Structure 1
Amino acid sequence: MPIPGYDPEDIDEQLESRLDDEEIEDRLSDSELEAYRNGDANLMDFLDEDEIGGILDR
Structure 2
Amino acid sequence: MERAGLADRLHAEGPPHDAVELSFDGDAHRLDFRELIGRQVMVYGQTEVTRDLMAARGEFRRDAE
TM-score bucket of the superposed structures, by smaller chain: 0.3 to 0.5
Higher relative contact order by CA 8 Å / sep ≥ 6: 1 or 2?
Answer: 1
Output the TM-score relative to the length of structure 1: 0.38
Output the TM-score relative to the length of structure 2: 0.35
Looking at secondary structure, tell me which structure has more strand per residue: 2
Decide which structure has the larger Cα Rg and report it.
Answer: 2
